[in-house]
Amino acid sequence: MSVTFEIAPGGALTGTMLGALAAGDTTVDGFLEGADSLATLAAFEAMGIAVEHPAPGRLVVHGRGLDGLQDPGQPLDLGNSGTSMRLLCGLLAGQRFDTTLVGDASLSRRPMRRVTEPLARMGARIDATPDGTAPLTIHGGQPLHAIEYEMPVASAQVKSALLLAGLYADGVTRVSEPAPTRDHTERMLTALGARIERDGATVAVHGRPVLRGTALTVPADISSAAFFLVGASLAPGSDLTLTGVGINPTRTGVIDILRAMGADIDVSNPREEGGEPVADLRVRGRPLRGIEIPEALVPLAIDEFPVLFVAAACAEGTTTLHGAAELRVKESDRIGVMAEGLAALGIDARPSDDGMTVVGGRLKGGRIDSHGDHRIAMAFAIAALRAEGAVTVTDCANVDTSFPGFVASAGACGLRIVSRH
C-alpha cells in the first residue's frame, strides 16, 4: 500500500496528549497496537500462546512457562521489526523445535551476525544467508551454556537476545556493554521473577528461573514522544504537554540533547508504573542553537536522531554528530537518507561515516522520499512546522509499525497533515 503525507507549512503544537514465558496470566496495559508489536504478538500466538484483547491497549497473555512454546509449523513473519527478530533469536535458541524467522525487504537487509555469533558461542545453531541476514533458521534441541560476553558495540537488542537465551542456559550469563543501553528487558524479567544482577556495565541472568505472570504497564514511548518534543521546541508559540511518558534513564538522551540546544522542557510529576519511571513533559517553543552532540548521549538517543537532525536544521549555527555509525544499518541508512532529504529542503547537511554536520538555515518546501523508514517519514512531517512551503513525504506506510495514529495525533496538536492512499 502506498501512503503519502502532505503537510502544509507553519503552525504550532499545543494541548495535552494523553509475558508469554511466564506461568500464569500476565496483564499488559498500554499495549501499542503498531505493526511491530502485532507481528510479535502473532508470532507467540502461532507458538501456542493464548492472548485475549479485552479492551483497546489491554492484553491478557496466558503464559505456559519457559518450556511451553510449541512448534509454529511455519515461518514466523516479523514484518519490519528488527527488535522482534533479534530478541526472538535469543528466545528460540533454547527451544526444542526448529523455527524460521522472515521479514519484509527492509528487515531482510539488516545485519544479524551481531546476534547470531554470540548466540553460537552459547551453543545455538542459527542459519542465515551468506550476508548474515534473514531468513534465519534457529535449530531447536541445542543445549545452551552460559557465557561472559563483552559487546563490541552498545546494543540493547543484542544484550536482550543474550539475556533471553540465558534463561535457558545452565549457569549465569553475563553481558558487558561499552555504553549504557535501554534496560527494559532486565526490568521486565525482574518483574516476572528472574534473577537479574547489575554490576557496573555488566548485567547477568541466572539460568532456568521460574517465571510468574504479573501485571505490566507500558509507559508512553519516548521515541514516539520525541517527534512532538522536537516539533513543539522548534515551532514558535507551541505549548504542549505529554503525559505519562517513560523517562527510563537509558532512553532520555533526546531530552538531554534538546535541552543542550536550548529547548524549554519541564519534567514534572515523576512516578513509577510497572517498574518503569514515567513523568509528564511540558515543552514550549524557543529558539534552538547548534551544538556538538556528546558521544556519551548517542546510545541513549539512537532512534531519535532522524527528528533531532530536523531540530539541528532549524537551530542557529552548526550541529555535529559523531559515533553513530549504527544509524547506517537501521530500517534505512538514516544518515544518508536524512542528509538527502534535508538537502532537498535547502539545508546544508554533510554526512560522514558515523554521523552528520548540519548547518541550521531556512527550510524550503519540497518532496521527500522516506525510503519506507517510519522515523524518517515522521521526522520530515515535523519539519514542515518551520518550512516555507508545503512538504510531501512519500512511502509512509511503515509509520504504522511504531506509531499507529501518528497523523491523527499530530493533527490534533496542530500539524496540518493529510495522509493520502
Residues recognised as catalytic: 303
Question: Identity (one letter) of the amino acid at 149?
Answer: Y
Under 8 Å CB-to-CB from 162, ≥6 apart: which residues? 90, 118, 119, 122, 147, 149, 173, 175
User: At residue 113, what are phi and psi to the nearest 5 degrees?
Assistant: -60, -30
Other CB atoms within 10 A of residue 419 CB: 17
CA 138, chain centre distance (Å):
24
3-state SS, residue 78? coil
Under 8 Å CB-to-CB from 147, ≥6 apart: which residues? 118, 121, 122, 162, 169, 173, 174
Q: Are 155 and 163 spatial neighbours (Cβ–Cβ below 8 Å)?
A: no
Distance from C-alpha of 206 to C-alpha of 197, rounded to nearest angstrom: 9
Helix axes 113-121, 156-166, angle to 10 degrees: 30
Distance from C-alpha of 265 to C-alpha of 259, rounded to nearest angstrom: 7
User: At residue 58, what are phi and psi to the nearest 5 degrees?
Assistant: -125, 135
In sequence order, the β-bridge partners of residue 215 are: 27
